[in-house]
Amino acid sequence: MRRVAVIPGDGIGPEVIAVAVRVLQTVGEIAGRRLEFVEFDWSADRYLRDGTTLPADAPAQLVQEFDAILFGALGDPRVPDNRHAAEILLGLRFGLDLYVNLRPCQLLDARLTPLRGRSEQDLNFVILRENTEGPYVGLGGVFRRAMPEELGLEVDINTARGAERILRYGFDYARRNGLKRLCMTDKSNAMPHGHGLWQRVFQRLRTEYADIEARHLYVDTLAAELVRDPGQFQVIVAPNLLGDILSDLGAQLVGGLGLAPSANLHPGRIGLYEPVHGSAPSLAGRNLANPMGAVLSSALLVEDFGWRREARAIRAVVQAAIRTGQTTPDLGGSQGTQQVGDWLCNELIRRGLPED
């Protein structure tokens, strides 16, 4: 039996996570696997009601009692400074030391890419974003707030340990998945201190992984190359902020934010699985949100349980839904969030599990 902690969050989070949970329940039933879900209401509603963001004992409780975390999205116009979102999501990423943010960018149907003349084979890479350092750690301050000479300082943290462990994960990921090419990106020409450190770690590690073709591109060049010729990339490793931006570019190349999954990982520990998109407040409560990013995140979740056939089954029905137009409006369809969920579950039952 596996226990999954579910944090639906704000906006469209609860709608897309409801579909992902149904898909997981369905695939579990087909496979004869027991899955138990426990929901946590950490969200803007809860914060506005009683001030709770992430309870202090939450990371320890999640580690002790659960095998995975399924997460929706956080962000609500009623909390303009997004305090609850930062404390809950960054609290979990940092508190559980989930240093890998894995964001696959795979084209499931050639019609979905805005790039001319590209097929499914041309777009299949993964972005591995460092997830615990960079300028996202909240170090800094504001001086002379709201005065004409106001100063804002955001400290960009880069450590040799942080760079090494995500780069090592990238090389090992390439080996594990039979991939040959890894690209490390930074902006060391303009940020020689922090990103110069990344360069030195990268140059040291690449000699250890001589079987992987390792190259470096400055992030601006990489952004251009991803649009010009995305087929050259298999594994991309990036510092936190750069990986955040690149993965939205990657998501758009394969069909948009509604379709993009992610996993926050620390090998050997509990992982947190979430769609890349945010809470999209303008879509919330309207049965319009695309649940596929959340559903594909649940495929990453079961894959990490070692349930490979179940993960393949989920991906196959998502691809089939796209091919047959069973999609929400962002992908050109006319189905609602729940109807897409119904279709995916029915199709899973109809097909059963794929052969091993």
Ligand X SMILES: NC(=O)c1ccc[n+]([C@@H]2O[C@H](COP(=O)([O-])OP(=O)(O)OC[C@H]3O[C@@H](n4cnc5c(N)ncnc54)[C@H](O)[C@@H]3O)[C@@H](O)[C@H]2O)c1
- Asked whether position 82 contacts ligand X by CB under 6 A, the answer is yes
Answer for the pair 196, 188: CB distance below 8 angstroms, yes or no: yes
- Asked whether position 271 contacts ligand X by CB under 6 A, the answer is no
Q: Which is nearer to ligand X, 62 or 280 (CB)?
A: 280
C-alpha to C-alpha distance for 232 and 222, rounded to whole angstroms: 11
Phi and psi angles of residue 118, each rounded to the nearest 5 degrees, phi first: -105, 145
C-alpha to C-alpha distance for 268 and 350, rounded to whole angstroms: 34
Q: How many CB atoms lie within 10 A of CB 281?
A: 16
- Of 109, 133, 303, 330, the one binding ligand X (CB under 6 A) is 330
| Stretch of residues binding ligand X (CB under 6 A), selected from 41-49, 120-128, 286-294, 305-313 | 286-294
- Asked whether position 327 contacts ligand X by CB under 6 A, the answer is no
Fill in the per-residue mask, 145 to 174: x = in contact with ligand X (CB under 6 A), - = not in contact. Answer: ------------------------------
Q: Which is nearer to ligand X, 234 or 247 (CB)?
A: 247
Rounded to the nearest whole angstrom, what is the least distance from the CB of residue 321 to ligand X in the complex? 14
Token pair of 131, please? Answer: 């997830």
- Asked whether position 293 contacts ligand X by CB under 6 A, the answer is yes
- Closest CB to ligand X belongs to which residue? 75
180 labelled catalytic: no
| DSSP structure class, residue 54 | S
Question: Is residue 336 classed exposed, middle or buried when 0-12, 13-18 and 19+ CB atoms within 10 A define those classes?
Answer: middle
C-alpha to C-alpha distance for 91 and 77, rounded to whole angstroms: 20
| Stretch of residues binding ligand X (CB under 6 A), selected from 138-146, 180-188, 222-230, 273-281 | 273-281
- Of 30, 157, 257, 320, the one binding ligand X (CB under 6 A) is 257
Q: How big, in percent rounded to 5, are the helix, strand and coil portions of the chain?
A: 45, 20, 35
- Asked whether position 283 contacts ligand X by CB under 6 A, the answer is yes
Catalytic residue, candidates 109, 156, 244, 330: 244
- Asked whether position 240 contacts ligand X by CB under 6 A, the answer is no
- Of 4, 17, 24, 89, the one binding ligand X (CB under 6 A) is 89
Rounded to the nearest whole angstrom, what is the least distance from the CB of residue 195 to ligand X in the complex? 24
244 labelled catalytic: yes
User: How many residues of this chain bind ligand X (CB under 6 A)?
Assistant: 21
Give the list of residues 6+ apart from residue 255 with CB closer than 8 angstroms, or none: 107, 108, 109, 112, 113, 322, 331
> What does each C-alpha distance from 80 to 8, 94, 146, 284 come to in angstroms?
20, 22, 17, 17
C-alpha to C-alpha distance for 133 and 224, rounded to whole angstroms: 25
- Pick from 132, 176, 170, 77: which is nearest to 272 by CA? 132
Q: Scanning the structure block, which residue is given the tokens 């963001």?
A: 53
| Stretch of residues binding ligand X (CB under 6 A), selected from 45-53, 59-67, 124-132, 279-287 | 279-287
CA angle 4, 284, 19 (to 5 degrees): 35
- Asked whether position 15 contacts ligand X by CB under 6 A, the answer is no
Catalytic residue, candidates 187, 209, 218, 342: 187
Rounded to the nearest whole angstrom, what is the least distance from the CB of residue 45 to ligand X in the complex? 14
- Asked whether position 12 contacts ligand X by CB under 6 A, the answer is yes
- Of 4, 19, 58, 74, the one binding ligand X (CB under 6 A) is 74
Catalytic residue, candidates 10, 76, 109, 136: 136
In the complex, the residues that contact ligand X under the rule CB under 6 A are: 12, 16, 73-75, 82, 85, 89, 257-258, 274, 277-280, 282-283, 289-290, 293, 330
Residues forming the active site: 136, 187, 220, 244, 248
